[in-house]
Amino acid sequence: MNIRGEKADHLISVIVKHRRALFIICAAISLMISLFNDALYLIGGPTAMRQESPFVMCDRTTPLNYAIHPKMTQRVSYSGDTFEPRWPTQKKLLLLRKDDYLFGHIGNQMNSLLHAYDYARDHQLELGTTFHGWVIEAIQFMGYESNDNKELRNEIRNELGITIIRNSTDLVGYDEVIQLSAKDLYFYKSPGENWEANMNFHIGILRRIFLRYNRALGYAHHGLRAINVCRTFDDLFHGSRAGIKYSVIHSRFMEGRAQFKLNQLAKTSGLTPRGALEMSPKYVRMILKPLGMLSHPIILFSDGELPSVEEGLLRDPVIGPKLIVMSNKTSLTGPDTALAILSDVYIGNPASVTSGYIARSRYALGYDEEQTYMFRKEHQDKW
């Protein structure tokens, strides 16, 4: 007598008879497990729920550790802290339309965008923009290439908290629509008590954009292929970008405006203006030597308006042989900016808004203050 066979047949008959009920039970268990995992994530559960890994951009490992929740992509954790682009809102919209002209360089535009978040958060407004305008231009300077405009709209809404307004129908339901230009927002100052929360929010937005950095695999909003932001790496280092150590110097004269701005900054920060303005060999050596970076490539981005900067560094017997000059750069491209952001050491000019954007981006990616130099004071002939 085959007892095992009879038991197996009986079990099969029971499963067939009650298959619908078993299916419902299994589905319910699966849903409960999924909800439990999400709940663990929301309340900061075990690290297994959000395994973080180093962020790698252009084959270079940054100090930033991150994880994106697979089912809630608007939520990202950075070294244990969770970021989500949400804030309390009323039925009012801050609409960032296309301006008559592009305001400033990427540093200006990103400041305007981040200040737009400040304004929206301070006034409990939703944030919106038109598709072909300066906001999308600023975002896609570094990231968010796409092959599907509908998908891009959803990603920008979910991951950056910005609604793309296509036509007047999308404005139905708002009690009020407020419009401000990039220039208006650039000069907006949030109340002082909000500065820390706003700064952390800015860092979260910058990180989201970098996580989606462009590799020329998709298109930008204007229909052209997005620019690979790693391109300058390939042009200079020919495939060895992962392990190469290098420094970047950003020299700006700005038709003389840099001198005035540095003098103004010196009143509040204590910096010595001529250091960042002249970028003398002595100034550069005193920064790079203690870091062991004088034996590695040094890249100079210069607007070419102060020839003594390039000439002095090229003539220096230590710096000259390692110097790569990229002159006449009154503005930096996305690939140039990525090269500066991912450098081992960055020496910038705080008079330049783009330098400030690079320094802030480096902070967002975890580079410490010993790797980013903007405000330096001369003391007893030392920097």
326-382 per-position pLDDT tens digit: 999 999 999 999 999 999 999 999 999 999 999 999 999 999 999 999 987 765 456
∠ CA 116-120-126, rounded to 5°: 115
pLDDT at residue 73, as a whole number: 59
Mean pLDDT taken over the chain: 86
pLDDT of residue 48 exceeding 60: no
pTM here is: 0.84
| Cα separation, 120 vs 198, whole angstroms | 11
pLDDT at residue 3, as a whole number: 46
pLDDT at residue 18, as a whole number: 55
pLDDT of residue 135 exceeding 50: yes
| In the chain, % of residues over pLDDT 90 | 66
Q: In what order do the strands lie in the sheet with 76-78?
A: 53-57, 60-68, 76-78, 81-83
- Name residue, tokens 């330096």: 376
* Tens digits of residue pLDDT in 54-67: 999 999 999 999 98
Q: At residue 379, what is the residue type?
A: H
pLDDT of residue 126 exceeding 80: yes
**Which of the four pLDDT bands, split at 50, 70 and 90, describes residue 323?**
very high
What is the Rg, in whole angstroms, of the alpha carbon atoms belonging to the chain?
A: 26
Find, among 284, 258, 252, the residue nearest to 273 by Cα. Answer: 258
DSSP state of 48: G
**Which of the four pLDDT bands, split at 50, 70 and 90, describes residue 41?**
very low
Find the range with the poorest average confidence among 45-59, 94-108, 224-238. 45-59
**Which of the four pLDDT bands, split at 50, 70 and 90, describes residue 10?**
low
How far from 78 is each of 23, 233, 286, 364, CA to CA, in Å?
Answer: 38, 26, 33, 10
User: Is-contact 340 357, C-beta < 8 A?
Assistant: no
Q: Collect all residues with Cβ–Cβ distance below 8 Å to 373 and sequence separation of at least 6.
A: 287, 345, 346, 347, 348
Q: In what order do the strands lie in the sheet with 298-302?
A: 323-326, 298-302, 247-251, 345-347, 372-373
